[in-house]
């Protein structure tokens, strides 16, 4: 509990923020006080976690450039390559739009279509950042369960697409791209650290706005919207809450760091666990901008199959967490 609350959750920051607001003479029982405390605390906590996680993950990622990843994956066949591709997705960028260029590169390199889609599903959905951030808010059991079901969705989704024999649904410029093997010189430790630092700055600049917006929405939900209303609309016993949350999340574009504060506030107000997780997964895996980008690489039939598989998977996962989530809390 100490690790979850004080190290990952950084509750000490919330205490310091509260002390600062007290010194400003704000009423601790007022709505303004609650909004400011939630907003300042979550923004500071998320930026600290984001910076640390991006640095660590980017350092690890420096050992797996696309050329090296391709050679690793080529050694496996069947379900093994789907599992490995899904696992490799956990150490890649946090949002689907950043994952699509890698997906295109792997597809151009001739990797099995199902494996590349397993990677594409898992990359924004179950990266290491989501594990740590979810642990800081929902606890270890829920975070681990989320990652496991996310990886299962990635593997199963990739296998279904592989069995569908839709290689012809990849755009021709990708299928006919020249396959060039390059001998990449291993970077030094100093170069890896420099790469990780650059990724931190690049990612922070890219997602900062979404974090501010997400935390702002979360602060308003947490302090303004009545719990009775949230529970009535998005409670676990409401069968329609999961499809609604998935549908609301899909058109949006954000990463896990921008969506978790909203999910945290909804959950605290009485929304079902599976409902808020479905919302998060819809935002990260089915965002409209990523679908537009993916359409440049695949034809409508394959894009529709991918969207259908992921949507159904997210909804099923949401229902499972709503039914059995009490066992994890």
The mean pLDDT value for 120-145 works out to 82
- To which residue do tokens 């390559």 refer? 81
What is the SS3 string spanning 237-263? CCCCHHHHHHHHHCCCCCCHHHHHHHH
Q: Residue 312 above 90 pLDDT?
A: yes
Q: Residue 227 above 90 pLDDT?
A: no
Is residue 254 very low, low, confident or very high in pLDDT (cuts 50, 70, 90)? low
Bridge partner list, 298: 170
Query: Residue 281: CB partners within 8 Å, gap ≥ 6?
Result: 125, 150, 246, 249, 314, 317, 318
Q: Residue 180 above 60 pLDDT?
A: no
Is residue 76 very low, low, confident or very high in pLDDT (cuts 50, 70, 90)? confident
Structure tokens given for 263: 């999910």
Q: In 3D, which of 120, 95, 90 has the Cα closest to residue 105?
A: 120
Question: By the 8 A CB rule, do 57 and 129 touch?
Answer: yes
pLDDT of residue 322: 92
Q: How far apart are CA 81 and CA 199, in angstroms?
A: 27
Structure tokens given for 301: 């039939």
Structure tokens given for 269: 């107000």
Structure tokens given for 91: 């150490």
21: Cα separation from own chain's centroid: 32
The mean pLDDT value for 213-238 works out to 84
pLDDT of residue 66: 66
Q: Residue 166 above 60 pLDDT?
A: yes
Rg (CA), the chain: 20
Is residue 327 very low, low, confident or very high in pLDDT (cuts 50, 70, 90)? confident
Lowest mean pLDDT among 18-32, 197-211, 241-255, 259-273: 241-255
pLDDT of residue 179: 57
Alpha helices in the chain (DSSP H): 2, 11-23, 31-61, 66-73, 79-88, 96-108, 113-125, 128-138, 140-163, 172-175, 189-223, 227-234, 241-249, 256-268, 273-285, 288-295, 300-324
pLDDT of residue 232: 80
Q: How many CA atoms lie within 13 A of 106 on its CB side?
A: 30
Question: By the 8 A CB rule, do 270 and 322 touch?
Answer: no
In tens, the pLDDT along 78-96 reads 888 899 888 888 876 555 5
Structure tokens given for 236: 């676990």
Of all residues in the chain, the percent with pLDDT exceeding 90 is 23
Q: Residue 195 above 60 pLDDT?
A: yes
- To which residue do tokens 């001739």 refer? 110
Q: How far apart are CA 163 and CA 4, in angstroms?
A: 42
Structure tokens given for 38: 């939630």
pLDDT of residue 289: 74
pLDDT of residue 309: 94
Lowest mean pLDDT among 286-290, 315-319, 321-325: 286-290
The mean pLDDT value for 22-47 works out to 90
Cα first-last separation, the chain = 13
Computed over every residue of the chain, the mean pLDDT equals 83
Lowest mean pLDDT among 22-31, 121-130, 138-147, 305-314: 121-130
Q: Residue 293 above 90 pLDDT?
A: no
Is residue 262 very low, low, confident or very high in pLDDT (cuts 50, 70, 90)? confident
Lowest mean pLDDT among 4-13, 63-72, 132-141, 231-240: 63-72
Query: Which contiguous run of DSSP H or E holds residue 299?
Result: none
Q: Residue 301 above 90 pLDDT?
A: yes
Q: Residue 56 above 90 pLDDT?
A: no
- DSSP letter at 9? S
């Amino acid at each position: 509990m100490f690790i979850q609350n004080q190290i990952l959750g950084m509750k000490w920051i919330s205490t310091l923020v509260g002390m600062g607001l007290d010194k400003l003479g704000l009423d601790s029982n007022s709505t303004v006080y609650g909004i400011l405390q939630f907003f300042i605390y979550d923004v500071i906590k998320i930026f600290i976690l984001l910076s640390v996680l991006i640095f660590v993950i980017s350092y690890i990622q420096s050992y797996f450039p696309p050329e090296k990843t391709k050679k690793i994956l080529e050694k496996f066949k069947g379900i093994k390559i789907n599992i490995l591709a899904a696992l490799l997705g956990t150490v890649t960028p946090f949002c689907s739009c950043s994952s699509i260029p890698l997906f295109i590169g792997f597809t151009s390199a001739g990797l099995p279509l199902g494996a590349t889609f397993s990677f594409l599903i898992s990359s924004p959905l179950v990266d290491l950042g989501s594990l740590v951030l979810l642990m800081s808010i929902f606890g270890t059991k829920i975070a681990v369960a989320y990652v496991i079901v996310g990886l299962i969705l990635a593997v199963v989704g990739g296998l279904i697409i592989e069995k569908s024999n839709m290689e012809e649904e990849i755009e021709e410029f990708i299928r006919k791209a020249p396959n060039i093997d390059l001998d990449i010189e291993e970077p030094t430790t100093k170069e890896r650290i420099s790469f990780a630092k650059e990724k931190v700055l690049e990612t922070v600049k890219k997602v900062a706005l979404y974090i501010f917006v997400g935390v702002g929405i979360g602060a308003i939900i947490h302090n303004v919207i009545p719990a009775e209303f949230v529970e009535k609309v998005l409670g676990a016993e409401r069968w329609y809450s999961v499809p609604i949350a998935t549908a609301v999340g899909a058109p949006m574009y954000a990463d896990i760091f921008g969506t978790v504060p909203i999910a945290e506030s909804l959950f605290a107000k009485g929304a079902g666990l599976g409902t808020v997780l479905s919302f998060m997964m819809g935002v990260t895996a089915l965002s409209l901008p990523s679908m537009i980008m993916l359409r440049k690489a695949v034809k409508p039939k394959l894009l529709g199959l991918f969207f259908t598989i992921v949507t159904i998977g997210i909804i099923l996962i949401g229902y499972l967490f709503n039914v059995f989530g009490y066992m994890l809390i």
